[in-house]
Structure 1
Amino acid sequence: MQAVPDTFEHALDAAEFKRPAHRPGVELYRAHIVRHAFEPHTHEAFGLGAIESGVERFRYRGEEHLAPADTLVLMNPDELHTGRAETSAGWRYRMVYIDAQVLEQLTGERSWWFADAVGRDTLRARRVSLLLRQLWFAREPLAFDGLLLELVHELRPVARIAQPARDEGLSRFAPVVEHLREHLAERVTLDELAALAGLSPFHFQRQFKRAHHATPQQLLMALRLFEAKRLLAAGEAPAQVAAAVGLADQAHLTHAFARRYGVTPARYQQQLGTRPPREAQATLPASC
């Protein structure tokens, strides 16, 4: 089966990831998106950035948000979200994804949290955008780490330290989410998940969607693709990654990955410099 090409449908759509070799748990991202629509996905890290031009529309925590130019984008870990252009010219933005543990080490504070997904502070957004641009081009590890510290200091005034109490619905379904994480490559049924929550199947599905703003299948796919992203960054061959996370084959991985992260697995590995040798990239049969 022919894989999805490494380019977007629209010539102006472009996205690129970058990871500093010396600083695990930090990933940079920049993009200009016109027509591409990101399907629900998660980064399982803080997603912090700024809109440089245009307007983004995204769904986050069950609500629609608009982020115009010179606004901040502030996403907490483990939150499903989408993304698409609100205007015909699309939107251009930069992000940094920072693991919660790394952010705690950077700040010396626990339980950072952002109450608002969109920060409407023009000057701060421009300073964050500049710092993200400088981080992208930083060549020296020491310079990178200094800029990273400046970035979190810039965002400190809009962060909350006391994380809100966990929603009762999220807590109730925590065993279900953990079960999904532990069985990414297996066939999971609605009845099986409902039994873990002690509910009838369709009642469970309604309650789960109310709590997570996504169906169990949507969350499962988001978890599968995040794990695929982690394995690809570690240098695993796409065919092996597809099998490891329960996708039908490499073509399925390519399509699903691009729909959620804006780049194909091969392009992602090229950007990070982790693409395996060509002989290791043979597509596994769909039965694997």
Structure 2
Amino acid sequence: MQGVPDSFVFPADSAQFRHPAHRDGVELYRAHIVRHAFEPHAHAAFGLGAIERGVERFRLRGADHLAPPDSLVLMNPDELHTGRAETDAGWRYRMIYLDADVAAEITGEPDWWFADAVQADAARAQRVTALLERLWHAQAPLAFDGLLLALLDELAPHARRPRPATVEAAPRFERVVEFLHAHLAERLTLDRLAAVANLSPFHFLRRFRAHYHVTPQQMLMALRLQQAKRQLAAGAAPAAVAAACGLADQAHLTRAFAQRYGVTPARYQRQVQR
């Protein structure tokens, strides 16, 4: 991509993704982040992993969290969060992003949910790190699937089943999120979103932010980048992805994608299509 860097601004930062060819709904990730700060983003999947070294600070559900070495990181689907290093040498970690229906099929238990985003469970975190390393290098589909089950067996003690009911039911905000999903490529206004919720504009803005801990614009950008990630993984050209997801151009997609996922669209596409 001419004129667009294919790596982090800071050479010490690195991130890699991998998709197993035989198993949809599974994405492996490993990274060492020193200077990069991830903007608010979400994954349409469980984000499950462990910190190998260093400390990560991230914001989730309206609160700051610290994840030290040998801790588990357990995020539910579609939870917006940030991420940055708390220590000078950064933090090294491994994650698996697993669609909820895939997790349910593997475990035989639907509606897993994680109440705590960080768990201090050093022995288990070390086993999770080792399993994620083996999954990264597994070539045989049968071996990969066996390791996948072993990984979820390790994490099962921290999962709540079934998923708890939402404390504050907000169907009008769910309608707004559905509206955002359906209009990613459009230029949306506060008045238009408030009308979907049947609230006055700034009353809607205050209540939406209080409920999701992000503004509607931050939510919209997270949803746009989620969709961009799916389309890139499916092989769509970055320029077409930018237009389909409501971003100004390919350069805008590249900046926004790298800010949230740690790699450029071109590099992500190459990694997951190997």
- Please tell me the TM-score bracket, short chain as reference: over 0.9
Is 2:18 the counterpart of 1:18? Answer: yes
Is 2:123 the counterpart of 1:116? Answer: no
Q: TM-score, normalised by structure 2?
A: 0.98
Q: Partner residue of 1:131?
A: 131
Once the two structures are TM-superposed, the CA of residue 167 in structure 1 deviates from its matched residue by 3.7
Once the two structures are TM-superposed, the CA of residue 259 in structure 1 deviates from its matched residue by 0.2
Q: Partner residue of 1:187?
A: 187
Question: Does the 8 Å contact 1:51/1:67 carry over to 2?
Answer: yes
Question: Does the 8 Å contact 1:52/1:70 carry over to 2?
Answer: yes
CA distance in 2, matches of 1:181, 1:80: 15
Q: Partner residue of 2:257?
A: 257
Q: Partner residue of 2:148?
A: 148
What residue ranges of structure 2 are gaps of 5+ in the alignment? none
Aligned to 1:59, the other structure's residue is in SS state strand
Matching of residues 54-133 of structure 1 within 5 Å: 54-133=54-133
Aligned to 2:186, the other structure's residue is in SS state coil
Task: Mark the CA change 1:167 to 1:178 in structure 2 (over 3 Å): closer, same or farther.
Answer: farther
Is 2:173 the counterpart of 1:173? Answer: yes
State the identity as a percent: 70
Question: Does the 8 Å contact 2:19/2:273 carry over to 1?
Answer: no
Task: Answer with 158-167 or 26-35: which moved more.
Answer: 158-167
Aligned to 2:21, the other structure's residue is in SS state coil
Once the two structures are TM-superposed, the CA of residue 115 in structure 1 deviates from its matched residue by 0.5
Q: Partner residue of 1:233?
A: 233
Is 2:214 the counterpart of 1:214? Answer: yes
Q: What do you get for the CA RMSD once the two structures are aligned?
A: 1.2
Letter in 1 for 2:210: R
The number of residues matched between the two structures is 274
Question: Does the 8 Å contact 2:172/2:196 carry over to 1?
Answer: no
Question: Does the 8 Å contact 2:51/2:91 carry over to 1?
Answer: yes
What residue ranges of structure 1 are gaps of 5+ in the alignment? 275-288
Task: Could you list the structure 1 runs, at least 4 aligned residues long, displaced by more than 2 angstroms after superposition.
Answer: 1-4, 167-172
Q: Partner residue of 2:272?
A: 272
Cα deviation code 1:158-190 (max 9, x no counterpart): 111121112435433000000000000011110
Cα deviation code 1:228-268 (max 9, x no counterpart): 00000000000000000000000000000000000000000
